[in-house]
């Protein structure tokens, strides 16, 4: 037998043995611990924001455990990287359900959230993720999905409400919509169409190709349309490229960034070009004077990990923190009443009324027929390089 | 046709950078018959090394001045090129094409993981290399750094063309590409030629990457995806032609900019520019399989 | 004692199972497959099902790449064509025209596989003029174009995601306790595909595939119609890949374009490289290896996390890097893959005591 073959055989035997060994419950799980599974993108296509989100969720769990957990029971967060690949998310999910016996799941993106939507309904496990697609709030379609932040469509509605308030006459307002050429980017499109048709707005939709290294041609198209406002639905990297290219070609307009485009990364990357951009941000920025930001900073300082305004944390970190806070509240209420299962957590979450996430989001209210947590947000604007609130809490008018 | 000139210039600028990255493919293919799916990751390594030296906190002697940092990154690129050729590609000489393609794909995954492990995957602000004030050119506003990029890309393309035409090493590389056995019998060291080809490709990729990073103002590990974008370019120009890479790059740049500028809205097909180069690629392959300038291979039994 | 396997009749030489040992082994494997679902938990069943689907796809790809020598980087997209086609046939296509019906599940997956074969043949057309690298890039373009079409026709494909109706087989809802029920569907189909593919290469058509791979011009001189053979290889290969995609769609019930990106194409290529190109059994080994690799690394990580607590933060990178590293190492040290490794091990015992 060749030497290499022997090595491969040995490696495989060791691997299989290790795998068998690992099937006994993993380390650290005391009997009373409440297990929550988490699926994060730490190395995949969206890991630039996936990592701070994951760190936010993990930080909240450590923080609450440090404060004694839930009536003395600790939360055991079992998290793994799925590299933004749906098949990895499914594998991890089935492992969490049948081996780790988790009671709830924290997910991440559009792909994994959609792929697991029906599975979590059959397995009766509440699920929260950073995907803020409106169709997840439809209880008939997605009975176990909970959307904590303001969904993309509502963000668009708030942005357009703001725009309409600025002008006395709605007819003839020109709004360009720049979006990531993917389902994520197109998510708020129908909200735009409805409002534009109702109010007589003129619109232009321009896709930003994924992985583009230059958006000048797209911006020139926008420039020819001469819009009053440009709404952007993308991640911060491409959004800042759009801002820089717009500054170069001399496009004079007001940019309005929806959630994933509006964060510190935009300010850091686009520099002066980001000045004056408006952001619909459902999460309190690091500079905000709210209770949760103080908690986060206290926690981080205690661990010697800097502060929330560091480059590798920021808004998305807070988003992760707040999402886990809401999930934990559901678990806490279920625990107070008796058994903690996916079903009891769901019932308790649906009973949440004006739950305060420490000021990171607007108060969270779910209902049996409504899994949309927040429907209100402040509007921010980049002033002197920081996101500054320019409005009070604005609610979606439906 | 509104916006014609601005779109033309935009296409030209982007095309030059495509040409530069595509050149790396062509160089490696021409000299070693290997198609390199890890070209984007060579670019990634070069850019992140420069970034680490200039902007990363906690790195010794920070911050390095640009010329020194870039020189160091280019040195790393040369070393990486030699290393890859020696450790990964040389054992595969004579193996079927699919093995060679897959080994470079494997390499791309590995390099990306290494970069991510060192630097993380979050978006980092990339400090500007060139001044970026706006200047007006034929009534079109562009930033100075884009002109720099165009100039550097042009210069590099010219230098490499001259290198292949006139320098002894360049001629040896062309000879090796033409017929390895004949080249060997003429006393040309094929190993050396291969190592040089990989090194130059890594250097060119690094420079191309720096130009893109400078333009974007921010980097993350998905910068490596640019490696896939240049396939239409090399196919259009012909896999083994340097002028082909240049012209192919510019044509693809133009197609992207004009389809984004005109076709999308007219046809109601948003995002057409991201697929049009590939459609063109298929059409070219059907009509002129060896590209505009590629050498047709005649097989004999 | 005999050292080696010796045949005394032609019939024996041509048998699929050449020795009584192999028959025993086959029996053992079948018995294990029968017992497995009753001892495994859902996540292990999920892995088994995923391996079965991946194996069908990998066998399809291997027919094209390993046996016919035509490189394809568009496998992920063809998987998507099969998935979306079957999803459309079972319902949505009818809803679009105001109907409410749908094609029965088994018919629908066959139609989807046939449709994928058609699309595969279409994108195989450049292979008539192209070889090697150029063909690889043409299939890369096919990958990008198909995904673009899927994401840009939301009316047909549902945009963000496509929810299928529960899969009904003879009135039984397959998705209830789906991991268990689908096991009984996927494993037999995988076995059928394995048998079909194995027998394919004992026929004239199959052998002409191999002749084209080994030397296409020589094959043409021998009277093989290159045009027909290459397209047939694309069709047969895409048929199996489409079948895998359709099964995947009905098993998971929700499909989205992310699943069929270039990364999937690369995973499938990795399966046949690691398993063994030009080996049906190798395709199955490779499918199992690539599916289990991340899980193996995870559990190794859990094992050593007591010794190196920092392993958690590095684990994702190790997983990503390991995938690339495994491909490189196999190509350099064992280009014929796991199938060859298994062969060597068998030979060691077959030739004992004179093995070397």
With a cut of 70, say whether residue A141 has pLDDT above it: yes
- Cβ pairs bridging B and C (under 8 Å): 131
Consecutive H or E run containing C10 = helix C10-14
**Looking at this predicted complex, what is its ipTM?**
0.86
DSSP of C264-309, one letter per residue? Answer: HHHHHHHHHHHH-TT-HHHHHHHHHHHHHHHHHHHHHHHHHTTT-T
Q: Mean pLDDT throughout B231-258? A: 86
Q: Which chain A residues are within 8 Å of C348, Cβ to Cβ?
A: 1
Nearest one of A105, A97, A111 to A126, comparing CA atoms: A105
Nearest-CA residue of chain A relative to C257? A111
pLDDT of amino acid B78:
93
Distance from CA of A248 to the nearest CA of B (A): 6
With a cut of 80, say whether residue A49 has pLDDT above it: yes
With a cut of 70, say whether residue C176 has pLDDT above it: yes
* Touching subunits for chain C (3+ Cβ pairs under 8 A): A, B
With a cut of 90, say whether residue A248 has pLDDT above it: no
Q: Which chain B residues are within 8 Å of C266, Cβ to Cβ?
A: 105, 109
Asked whether A141 and A162 are in contact (CB, 8 A), the reply is no
Q: Is C183 helix (H, G, I), strand (E, B) or coil?
A: helix
Measured distance CA(A215)–CA(A205) in Å, rounded: 14
With a cut of 90, say whether residue C275 has pLDDT above it: yes
Asked whether A65 and A90 are in contact (CB, 8 A), the reply is no
DSSP E strand boundaries for C148-249: 162-163, 168-169, 172-173
| Alpha carbon separation from C58 to C120, C237, C308 (Å, rounded) | 15, 9, 36
Residue A301, strand partner residues? none
Q: Is A118 helix (H, G, I), strand (E, B) or coil?
A: helix
Interface check for A138 against chain C (CB to CB < 8 A): the answer is no
Interface check for C316 against chain A (CB to CB < 8 A): the answer is yes
Which of A340-349, B59-68, B123-132, C311-320 has the weakest average pLDDT? Answer: B59-68
Selected residues 73-132 of chain A with any CB under 8 Å from a CB in chain C: 80-81, 83-88, 90-91, 94-95, 97-99, 110-111, 114-118, 122
pLDDT of amino acid A159:
92
Cα torsion through C232, C234, C239, C245, rounded to 10: 180
Interface check for A384 against chain B (CB to CB < 8 A): the answer is no
Nearest one of A56, A45, A59, A38 to A313, comparing CA atoms: A56
pLDDT of amino acid A178:
92
pLDDT of amino acid A29:
43
Tokens 């951009």, located at residue? A277
Which of A106-110, A275-279, B289-293, C326-330 has the weakest average pLDDT? Answer: B289-293
| Alpha carbon separation from A381 to A10, A176, C136, C285 (Å, rounded) | 60, 19, 48, 56
Measured distance CA(B119)–CA(B92) in Å, rounded: 31
Nearest one of C127, C356, C96, C90 to C246, comparing CA atoms: C90
Nearest one of A226, A163, A215, A165 to A191, comparing CA atoms: A163
Q: Which chain C residues are within 8 Å of B270, Cβ to Cβ?
A: 152
Interface check for A312 against chain C (CB to CB < 8 A): the answer is no
Interface check for B264 against chain A (CB to CB < 8 A): the answer is yes
Q: Which chain B residues are within 8 Å of C124, Cβ to Cβ?
A: none
Interface check for B287 against chain C (CB to CB < 8 A): the answer is no
Measured distance CA(A235)–CA(C338) in Å, rounded: 42
Q: Count CB-CB contacts under 10 A for residue C269.
A: 28
Q: Model-level pTM? A: 0.89
Q: Is A215 helix (H, G, I), strand (E, B) or coil?
A: coil
Higher pLDDT, C155 or A334: A334
Q: Determine whether the interchain pair C42/A90 forms a contact, defined as Cβ–Cβ distance below 8 Å.
A: no
The contacts of residue B222 (CB under 8 Å, 6+ apart) are A45, A48, A211
With a cut of 90, say whether residue C83 has pLDDT above it: yes
Measured distance CA(A159)–CA(A175) in Å, rounded: 11
Which of A28-37, A264-273, C113-122, C167-176 has the weakest average pLDDT? Answer: A28-37
pLDDT of amino acid C81:
95
Looking at chain C, the whole-number percentage of residues with pLDDT higher than 70 is 96
The count of C-alpha atoms lying within 13 angstroms of the C-alpha of B81, restricted to the half-sphere facing its C-beta, is 30
pLDDT digits (tens, 9 = 90+) for A370-381: 888 888 888 999
Q: Which chain B residues are within 8 Å of C332, Cβ to Cβ?
A: 88, 91-92, 103
Q: Supply φ then ψ for residue B189, to 5 degrees.
A: -85, 110
Q: Which chain A residues are within 8 Å of C57, Cβ to Cβ?
A: none
Among C126, C270, C318, whose Cβ lies nearest the Cβ of B282? C126
Interface check for C318 against chain B (CB to CB < 8 A): the answer is yes
Q: Determine whether the interchain pair A115/C333 forms a contact, defined as Cβ–Cβ distance below 8 Å.
A: no
- What domains can you pick out in chain A, each with its CATH number? 31-149+289-367 (3.40.50.2300), 152-281+379-395 (3.40.50.2300)
Q: Determine whether the interchain pair B134/A248 forms a contact, defined as Cβ–Cβ distance below 8 Å.
A: yes
Q: Count CB-CB contacts under 10 A for residue A174.
A: 16
The count of C-alpha atoms lying within 13 angstroms of the C-alpha of B286, restricted to the half-sphere facing its C-beta, is 13
DSSP of chain B, one letter per residue? Answer: -TTHHHHHHHHHHHHHHHHHHHHHHHHHHHHH----TTHHHHHHHHHHHHHHHHT-TT-TTPSPPHHHHHHHHHHHHHHHHHHHIIIIIGGGTTS-HHHHHHHHHHHHHHHHHHHHHHH-SS-EEPPPSS---EEEETTEEEEHHHHHHHHHHHHHHHHHHHHHHHSHHHHHHHHHHH-HHHHHHTT--HHHHHHHHHHHHHHHHHHHHHHHHHHHSEE-GGGGGHHHHTHHHHHHH-TT-HHHHHHHHHHHHHHHHHIIIIIHHHHT-TTGGGTHHHHHHHHHHHH-TTTTTPPPPPP--
Asked whether C213 and C22 are in contact (CB, 8 A), the reply is no
DSSP of A290-303, one letter per residue? Answer: -HHHHHHHHHHHHH
With a cut of 90, say whether residue C50 has pLDDT above it: yes
pLDDT of amino acid C113:
96
Burial of residue B63 (number of CB atoms within 10 Å: 0-12, 13-18, 19+)? middle
Interface check for B26 against chain C (CB to CB < 8 A): the answer is no
Measured distance CA(A229)–CA(A221) in Å, rounded: 14
Interface check for B293 against chain C (CB to CB < 8 A): the answer is no
With a cut of 50, say whether residue A249 has pLDDT above it: yes
Interface check for A24 against chain C (CB to CB < 8 A): the answer is no
With a cut of 70, say whether residue A2 has pLDDT above it: no
Residue A31: pLDDT band by 50, 70, 90 thresholds?
low
Measured distance CA(C138)–CA(A389) in Å, rounded: 51
Q: Determine whether the interchain pair A19/C292 forms a contact, defined as Cβ–Cβ distance below 8 Å.
A: yes
From the centroid of its chain, how far is CA A335? 26
Higher pLDDT, B178 or A331: A331
pLDDT of amino acid A26:
42
Residue C120: pLDDT band by 50, 70, 90 thresholds?
very high
* Touching subunits for chain B (3+ Cβ pairs under 8 A): A, C
pLDDT digits (tens, 9 = 90+) for B92-102: 887 888 888 89
Q: Mean pLDDT throughout B200-213? A: 90
DSSP E strand boundaries for chain C: 162-163, 168-169, 172-173, 254-255
Distance from CA of A82 to the nearest CA of B (A): 14
pLDDT of amino acid A22:
45
Nearest-CA residue of chain B relative to A219? B261
With a cut of 50, say whether residue C271 has pLDDT above it: yes
Determine which of A46, A94, A119 to mutate to test the interface with C (most C C-beta atoms within 10 Å): A94
Nearest-CA residue of chain A relative to C179? A94
With a cut of 80, say whether residue A315 has pLDDT above it: yes
The contacts of residue A202 (CB under 8 Å, 6+ apart) are A172, A173, A174, A175, A196
With a cut of 60, say whether residue A97 has pLDDT above it: yes
| Alpha carbon separation from C232 to C56, C139, C207, C225, C323 (Å, rounded) | 18, 16, 12, 11, 32
With a cut of 50, say whether residue A1 has pLDDT above it: no
Q: Determine whether the interchain pair A250/B14 forms a contact, defined as Cβ–Cβ distance below 8 Å.
A: no
pLDDT of amino acid A25:
42
Q: Which chain B residues are within 8 Å of A305, Cβ to Cβ?
A: none
Asked whether A296 and A308 are in contact (CB, 8 A), the reply is yes
Determine which of B15, B122, B144, B231 to mutate to test the interface with A (most A C-beta atoms within 10 Å): B122
Mean confidence (pLDDT) of chain A: 85
Work out the angle at residue C281's Cα, subtended by the Cα atoms of residues C275 and C282, and round it to the nearest 5 degrees: 10
Interface check for B109 against chain A (CB to CB < 8 A): the answer is no
Distance from CA of C166 to the nearest CA of B (A): 33
Q: Pairing between strand C162-163 and B134-137? A: unpaired
Q: Which two tokens stand for residue B11?
A: 């296409």
Q: Which two tokens stand for residue C181?
A: 């029920």
* Touching subunits for chain A (3+ Cβ pairs under 8 A): B, C
Q: Determine whether the interchain pair C258/A141 forms a contact, defined as Cβ–Cβ distance below 8 Å.
A: no
Selected residues 52-81 of chain C with any CB under 8 Å from a CB in chain A: none
| Alpha carbon separation from B225 to A44, A120, A210, B228, C103 (Å, rounded) | 12, 33, 10, 6, 40
Measured distance CA(C250)–CA(C245) in Å, rounded: 9
Among A206, A209, A214, whose Cβ lies nearest the Cβ of B274? A209
With a cut of 50, say whether residue C238 has pLDDT above it: yes
Measured distance CA(C324)–CA(B103) in Å, rounded: 8
């Amino acid at each position: 037998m060749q030497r290499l073959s022997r090595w491969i055989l040995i490696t495989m035997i060791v691997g299989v043995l290790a795998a068998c060994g690992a099937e006994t419950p993993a380390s650290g799980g005391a009997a009373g611990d409440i297990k929550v599974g988490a699926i994060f993108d730490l190395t995949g296509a969206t890991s630039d924001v996936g990592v701070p989100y994951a760190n936010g969720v993990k930080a909240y769990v450590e923080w609450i455990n440090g404060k004694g957990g839930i009536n003395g029971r600790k939360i055991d967060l079992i998290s793994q990287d799925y590299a933004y690949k749906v098949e990895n998310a499914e594998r991890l999910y089935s492992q969490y359900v049948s081996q780790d016996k988790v009671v709830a799941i924290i997910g991440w993106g559009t792909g994994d959230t959609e792929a697991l939507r029906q599975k979590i309904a059959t397995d009766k496990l509440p699920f929260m993720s950073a995907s803020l697609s409106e169709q997840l709030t439809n209880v008939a379609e997605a009975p176990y999905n909970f959307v904590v932040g303001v969904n993309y469509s509502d963000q668009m509605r708030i942005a357009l409400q703001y725009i309409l308030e600025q002008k006395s006459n709605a007819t003839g307002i020109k709004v360009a919509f720049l979006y990531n050429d993917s389902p994520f980017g197109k998510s708020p499109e129908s909200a735009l169409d409805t409002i534009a048709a109702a109010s007589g707005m003129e619109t232009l939709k321009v896709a930003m190709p994924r992985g583009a290294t230059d958006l000048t041609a797209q911006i020139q198209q926008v420039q020819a349309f001469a819009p009053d406002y440009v709404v952007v639905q993308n991640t911060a990297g491409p959004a800042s490229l759009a801002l820089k290219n717009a500054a170069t070609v001399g496009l004079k307009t007001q940019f309005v960034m929806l959630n994933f485009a509006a964060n510190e990364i935009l300010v850091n990357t686009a520099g002066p070009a980001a000045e004056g951009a408006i952001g619909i941000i459902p999460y309190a920025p690091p500079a905000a004077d709210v209770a949760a930001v103080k908690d986060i900073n206290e926690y981080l300082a205690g661990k010697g990990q800097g502060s929330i305004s560091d480059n590798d944390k920021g808004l998305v970190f807070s988003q992760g923190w707040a999402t886990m806070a809401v999930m934990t509240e559901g678990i806490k209420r279920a625990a107070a009443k008796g058994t903690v299962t996916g079903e009891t957590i769901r019932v308790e979450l649906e009973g949440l009324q004006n739950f305060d996430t420490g000021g990171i989001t607007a108060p969270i209210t779910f209902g049996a027929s409504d899994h949309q947590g927040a429907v209100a947000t402040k509007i921010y604007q980049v002033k002197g390089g920081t996101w500054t609130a320019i409005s009070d809490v604005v609610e979606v008018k439906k | 046709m509104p916006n014609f000139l601005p779109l033309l210039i935009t296409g030209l600028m982007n095309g030059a950078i495509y040409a530069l990255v595509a050149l790396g493919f062509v160089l490696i293919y021409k000299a070693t018959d290997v198609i390199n799916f890890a070209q984007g990751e060579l670019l990634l390594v070069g850019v992140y090394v420069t970034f680490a030296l200039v902007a990363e906190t906690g790195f010794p002697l920070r911050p390095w001045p640009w010329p020194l940092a870039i020189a160091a990154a280019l040195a790393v690129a040369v070393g990486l090129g030699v290393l890859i050729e020696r450790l990964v590609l040389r054992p595969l000489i004579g193996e079927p094409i699919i093995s060679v393609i897959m080994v470079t794909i494997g390499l791309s995954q590995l390099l990306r993981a290494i970069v991510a492990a060192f630097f993380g995957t979050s978006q980092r602000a990339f400090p500007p290399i060139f001044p970026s004030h706006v200047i007006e050119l034929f009534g079109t506003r562009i930033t100075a750094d884009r002109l720099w990029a165009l100039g550097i890309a042009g210069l590099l393309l010219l230098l490499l063309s001259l290198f292949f035409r006139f320098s002894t090493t360049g001629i040896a590389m062309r000879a090796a590409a033409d017929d390895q056995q004949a080249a060997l019998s003429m006393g040309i060291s094929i190993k050396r030629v291969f190592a040089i080809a990989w090194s130059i490709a890594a250097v060119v990729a690094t420079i191309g990457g720096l130009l893109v990073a400078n333009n974007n103002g921010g980097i993350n590990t998905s910068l490596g995806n640019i490696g896939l974008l240049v396939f239409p370019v090399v196919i259009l120009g012909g896999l083994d032609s340097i002028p082909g890479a240049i012209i192919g790059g510019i044509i693809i740049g133009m197609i992207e900019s004009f389809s984004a500028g005109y076709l999308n809205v007219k046809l109601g097909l948003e995002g057409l520019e991201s697929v049009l180069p590939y459609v063109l690629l298929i059409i070219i392959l059907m009509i002129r399989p060896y590209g505009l300038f590629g050498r047709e291979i005649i097989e004999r039994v | 004692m005999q050292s080696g396997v010796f045949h005394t009749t032609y019939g024996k030489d041509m048998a699929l199972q050449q020795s009584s040992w192999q028959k025993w082994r086959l029996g053992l494997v079948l018995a294990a497959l029968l017992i497995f679902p009753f001892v495994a938990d859902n996540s292990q069943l999920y892995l088994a099902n995923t391996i079965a689907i991946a194996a069908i796809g990998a066998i399809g790809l291997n027919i094209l790449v390993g046996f016919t020598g035509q490189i394809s980087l568009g496998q992920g997209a063809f998987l998507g064509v099969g998935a979306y086609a079957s999803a459309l046939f079972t319902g949505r296509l009818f809803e679009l025209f105001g109907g409410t019906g749908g094609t029965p599940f088994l018919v629908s997956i066959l139609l989807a596989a046939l449709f994928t074969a058609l699309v595969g043949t279409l994108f195989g057309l450049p292979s008539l003029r192209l070889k090697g690298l150029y063909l690889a890039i043409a299939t890369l373009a096919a990958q990008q174009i198909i995904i673009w079409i899927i994401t840009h026709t939301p009316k047909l494909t549902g945009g963000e995601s496509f929810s299928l109706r529960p899969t009904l087989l003879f009135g039984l809802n397959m998705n209830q306790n789906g991991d268990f029920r689908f096991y009984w569907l996927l494993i037999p189909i995988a076995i059928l595909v394995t048998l079909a593919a194995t027998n394919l290469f004992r026929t004239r058509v199959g052998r002409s595939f191999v002749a084209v791979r080994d030397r296409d011009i020589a094959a043409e001189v021998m009277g093989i119609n290159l045009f027909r053979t290459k397209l047939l290889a694309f069709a047969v290969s895409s048929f199996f890949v489409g079948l895998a995609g359709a099964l995947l769609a009905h098993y998971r019930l929700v499909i989205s374009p992310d699943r069929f990106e270039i990364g999937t194409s690369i995973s499938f290529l990795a399966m046949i490289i690691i398993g063994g190109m030009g080996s049906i059994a190798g395709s199955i080994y490779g499918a199992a290896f690539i599916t289990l690799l991340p899980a193996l690394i995870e559990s190794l990580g859990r094992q050593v996390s007591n010794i190196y607590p920092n392993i958690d933060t590095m684990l994702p990178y190790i997983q990503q890097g390991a995938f690339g590293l495994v491909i490189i190492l196999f190509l350099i040290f064992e280009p014929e893959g796991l199938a060859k490794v298994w062969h060597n091990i068998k030979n060691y015992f077959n030739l004992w005591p004179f093995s070397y």
